[in-house]
Structure 1
């Protein structure tokens, strides 16, 4: 399916077309199940993940959000995020005997979709571009150049504690910006103007 065809289908879904969403479902259902089997605890959970992912995306599209293209990447990322959220809510200790009895058939081969990799890189890049310049700099120093808080503080002319706090706020801002981009939300002015999100150096 070409990018133009996908864009037409997504716009049709936003206009209320159940047939258009059915077409997207039929084209991407197999890939969604493949991803779900890799991240779910059981085949039943995998089915639930796929169902929940499609339901959530339909709701987002009908509210005017979601992707304009790259539906498969958006879908697979949604499946994975839902699995991560479910795991975080229900972390538990499994005994060795339970693990031995658990049927892992179909869960052994990692599934990596190039479309997802490329799409998520673009999400991170756009989220990073939404940050204030000061946050971009501190994230580059910490995550790319692997500088310590002391070294970052020297670059900014601030204390070690202030540098650590600045890096913390920058990471938090990047996470928020990522979810804005993922959900198709416009740039929030408070990312650039809010006192809560602007780096405040002591």
Structure 2
């Protein structure tokens, strides 16, 4: 497995490193299949959509185009466009290879609704994998914007212990999200909150 973030892997692909693209495939294949299942007209089209999307993106990268970051969003948009092309051949569809030629305001971030909904679904799955106590502390801190002191009072623990609990809950959510993206059915259970509090 090749190390590095997606940005460094994309640079390596443009330099001709086949193993870098293999790593990108391994990281994002599950998300690609999830998107393909949502937009394919038949189940038989899923594998074809995924294979063609990766092939198109690889071709664009080898020609020096494509994304510098946000590889997954670019890939999923490619799959969606390919499915649209198959389902609506009488309409003009911009495929992945054409995205570089579009004139857009780069100051405005592109948000694909289908990609955004898929990401929200993955976040929900990751959140529900967390222990109940971690879900509660994340809700208080991230949604209700409670301070560590307020969270500590609600949980009957010190301010520092509440801050440590929130830190570990965020870390657990990131790990759970990565596991959902990789398609892992179960999560390696994090350390119990009680152990974290005694260590805080």
- Superposition TM-score tier, normalisation by shorter sequence: 0.5 to 0.7
Verify the 8 A CA contact 1:123 1:181 in the aligned structure 2: yes
Partner of 1:154: 153
Partner of 1:176: 175
Partner of 1:114: 113
Q: What is the rounded CA distance, in whole Å, between the counterparts of 2:44 and 2:161 in structure 1?
A: 49
Superposition deviation, residue 115 in structure 1: 0.4
Deviations 1:60-112 (A, max 9, x none): xxxxxxxxxxx826979xxxxxxxxxxxxxxxxxxxxxxxxxxxx75625321
With normalisation by structure 1, the TM-score equals 0.53
Q: What is the rounded CA distance, in whole Å, between the counterparts of 2:79 and 2:166 in structure 1?
A: 31
Superposition deviation, residue 23 in structure 1: 3.9
Partner of 2:64: 44
Segments of 5+ residues of structure 1 without an aligned counterpart are 14-18, 37-42, 55-70, 77-104
Q: Secondary structure at the match of 1:152?
A: helix
- Number of residue pairs the alignment of both structures matches: 132
Partner of 1:165: 164
Q: Secondary structure at the match of 1:44?
A: coil
Partner of 2:186: 187
2:125 is equivalent to residue 126 of structure 1: yes
- Please show how residues 26-45 of structure 1 align to structure 2 within 5 Å: 44=64
Distance 1:111 1:153, change over 3 A: same
Distance 1:46 1:150, change over 3 A: same
With normalisation by structure 2, the TM-score equals 0.53
Superposition deviation, residue 183 in structure 1: 1.1
Partner of 1:201: 197
Distance 1:22 1:148, change over 3 A: closer
Tell me the C-alpha RMSD between the 2 structures. Answer: 3.6
Superposition deviation, residue 9 in structure 1: 3.5
Segments of 5+ residues of structure 2 without an aligned counterpart are 1-35, 81-102
Superposition deviation, residue 181 in structure 1: 0.6
Q: Secondary structure at the match of 1:46?
A: coil
Distance 1:120 1:6, change over 3 A: farther
Distance 1:159 1:75, change over 3 A: farther
Q: Secondary structure at the match of 2:44?
A: helix
Q: Secondary structure at the match of 2:186?
A: coil
